[in-house]
């Protein structure tokens, strides 16, 4: 089962600067078989469900190992059984509608 | 690694009444090793990371099998390396503070 | 417009114990016109959109005033134009389906 | 109070193709005073809290007016009292860390 996910990992108890932890997670998510796209409030990830979930678990383990005693993560998970859809498809589909609206 | 999760599964393309799908997921989540607590906008789940994630995957597979072509799920995942904490601990901790505030 | 919301406020930069901040928000959310229900990973809130949003803003202002330099909040917002639905309706609807499944 | 938000609006009861509704919301969010950035699982929005919240409400009203009887939206809201931070700052901060990790 393929999934398009949006992952936002928030380490708690390590002060206000979180970029060091997020970068470590980016390295983990950017693995063979996954497409990733960092944005200002999380990271889009596309790939096989198990690969995405394994990477997510590794992120939690890594952030704890880096010293964060507590983590609160928000994840969105989109799956479809009707057809294949990529992250790029989703964005382009909305952008095309926007052009129609504005023309 | 233990996790306290909050899972909100939204089947798309099956009309506005979703309770049939949510109930099927409740059955899946309420398995050995997991504690569940249904609320008005999701379900709290407590247990081993792998058990929670396996159950979540089974939910997606079940909801697709029931006829939903598309699913968008929002999950919150809380892990701690400093100490063990249950769902009940979290609620009681806030309620105790509230009593202090109001006394 | 009525909304059923689920609000999870995470103060950042104040250590790992967050219950003091959450309790202060519970006090703010539990106001005239809103129904609230605390669970292990957030708070369900039901009421008029503007009342809910005003309360949410007051929560952020309060948590900053209590000393948190940074806050990351996750909110789910459910609205319906087809019919009125309460938090209790939503839970009972799923529980009734569960009973049907298990009988 | 400035906020960086991530907004994901899911219309329910209108079939599986949602891009028409998302595009209409993009038009609403892309207003004076707000910076927006569409990604594959939502839209980042940066601006004054009240402007963002007013736009979000207009999105719900618009999507209902377009025929969706039910909407479930997930929003993340980040505020800071310690310093000003833009969406671009957040992404660049992580990218800089990534370069350090990989050099």
* Strand-by-strand arrangement of the C42-48 sheet: C35-39, C42-48, C2-12, C70-80, D70-80, D2-12, D42-48, D35-39
Ranges of residues in chain B with a pLDDT under 50 are: none
- Asked if the model's pLDDT at residue A103 lies above 90, the reply is no
Q: Does C47 touch chain B (CB under 8 A)?
A: no
Residues in chain B within 8 Å Cβ distance of C40: 4, 6, 37, 44, 46, 87-88, 90-91
- Reported as a pLDDT band with limits 50, 70 and 90, residue A86 is very high
Write out chain D's pLDDT in tens, 103 residues. Answer: 999 999 999 999 999 999 999 999 999 999 989 999 999 999 999 999 999 999 999 999 999 999 999 999 999 999 999 999 999 999 999 999 999 998 8
Q: Does C79 touch chain B (CB under 8 A)?
A: no
Question: d(Cα B7, Cα B58) in Å, to the nearest integer?
Answer: 13
Residues in chain C within 8 Å Cβ distance of B78: 41
- Asked if the model's pLDDT at residue C103 lies above 90, the reply is no
Q: Does A22 touch chain D (CB under 8 A)?
A: yes
The answer to whether the CB atoms of C60 and D53 lie below 8 A apart is: no
Report chain A's mean pLDDT, rounded to a whole number.
97
Reported as a single tens digit per residue, the pLDDT across C3-50 is 999 999 999 999 999 999 999 999 999 998 999 999 999 999 999 999
pLDDT value, residue B103: 85
Nearest CB among A4, A20, A98 relative to D41 is that of: A4
- Reported as a pLDDT band with limits 50, 70 and 90, residue C95 is very high
């Amino acid at each position: 089962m393929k999934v398009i996910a949006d992952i936002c990992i928030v380490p708690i108890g390590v002060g206000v600067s979180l970029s060091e932890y997020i970068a470590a997670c980016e390295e983990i998510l950017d693995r063979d078989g996954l497409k990733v796209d960092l944005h200002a409030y999380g990271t889009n990830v596309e790939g096989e469900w198990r690969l995405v979930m394994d990477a997510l678990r590794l992120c939690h383990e890594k952030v704890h190992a880096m010293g964060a005693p507590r983590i609160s993560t928000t994840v969105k998970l989109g799956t479809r059984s009707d057809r294949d859809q990529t992250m790029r498809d989703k964005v382009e589909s909305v952008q095309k509608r926007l052009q129609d609206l504005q023309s």
